[in-house]
Amino acid sequence: MNRIPNSLHASDIAHSMHPYTNMRAHEQQGPMIITKGDGIHVYDSEGKEYIEGMAGLWSVAVGFSESRIAEAAYKQMLELPYYHSFAHKAHAPSIKLAEKLVEMTPEGLNRVFFTNSGSEANDTVIKMVWFMNNALGRPEKKKFLARNKGYHGITIASGSLTGLPGNHKDFDLPAIPVIHLTCPHHWKWAEPGESEAEFTARLLKEAEDTILSEGPETIAAFIGEPVMGAGGVMTPPEGYWPGIAELCKKYDILLVSDEVINGFGRLGTPFGCQKYGFEPDILVTSKQLTSSYMPLAAILVNDKVYNPIADNTEKLGTFGHGFTGSGHPVACAAGLENLAIIEEKDLMGNAARMEAPFQAMVQSFADHPLVGEARGTGLIAGLELVADKASKTAFSPIGKVAAAVARAAQDHGLICRSVYETVALCPPLIINESDIERIGQRLGTALDEGHAWAKAEGFL
Burial class of residue 290, CB neighbours in 10 A (0-12, 13-18, 19+): buried
pLDDT at 3: 53
Report, at the CATH architecture level, how domain 68-344 is classified: 3-Layer(aba) Sandwich (3.40)
pLDDT at 398: 93
Q: How far apart are CA 251 and CA 212, in angstroms?
A: 9
Whole-model pTM: value is 0.96
Q: Where do the structural domains in the chain lie, given as residue ranges?
A: 32-62+346-456, 68-344
Q: How far apart are CA 31 and CA 410, in angstroms?
A: 13
Distances (CA, A) of 264 to 123, 125, 245, 376: 22, 20, 21, 17
Q: What are phi and psi of 208, to 5 degrees?
A: -70, -40
pLDDT at 1: 37
Per the CB < 8 A criterion, the answer to whether 429 and 57 are in contact is no
Quickly count: other Cβ atoms within 10 Å of residue 372's Cβ.
23
pLDDT at 68: 98
Residues 6 or more apart whose Cβ sits within 8 Å of residue 236: 184, 226, 227, 276
Amino acid at 101: L
Per-residue three-class SS string for 201-242: HHHHHHHHHHHHHHCHHHEEEEEECCCECCCCCECCCCCHHH
Quickly count: other Cβ atoms within 10 Å of residue 103's Cβ.
8
Report the relative pairing of strands 414-415 and 49-52 from DSSP bridges: parallel
| DSSP assigned state of 4 | S
Q: How far apart are CA 139 and CA 327, in angstroms?
A: 30
pLDDT at 403: 97
Amino acid at 28: Q
For domain 32-62+346-456, which CATH number applies: 3.90.1150.10, 3.90.226.10, 3.40.50.150, 2.40.30.10?
3.90.1150.10
Q: How far apart are CA 425 and CA 419, in angstroms?
A: 10
Radius of gyration of the chain (CA): 22
Per-residue pLDDT of the chain (460 residues; tens, 9 = 90+): 345 557 899 999 999 999 999 999 999 999 999 999 999 999 999 999 999 999 999 999 999 999 999 999 999 999 999 999 999 999 999 999 999 999 999 999 999 999 999 999 999 999 999 999 999 999 999 999 999 999 999 999 999 999 999 999 999 999 999 999 999 999 999 999 999 999 999 999 999 999 999 999 999 999 999 999 999 999 999 999 999 999 999 999 999 999 999 999 999 999 999 999 999 999 999 999 999 999 999 999 999 999 999 999 999 999 999 999 999 999 999 999 999 999 999 999 999 999 999 999 999 999 999 999 999 999 999 999 999 999 999 999 999 999 999 999 999 999 999 999 999 999 999 999 999 999 999 999 999 999 999 999 999 9
pLDDT at 12: 95
Residues 6 or more apart whose Cβ sits within 8 Å of residue 239: 197, 200
- Phi/psi region, residue 458 (left: phi>0; alpha: psi -120 to 50; beta: rest), is left
DSSP code per residue over 109-143: --EEEEESSHHHHHHHHHHHHHHHHHHTT-TT--E
Per-residue three-class SS string for 264-302: CCCCCCCCHHHHHCCCCCEEEECHHHCCCCCCCEEEEEC
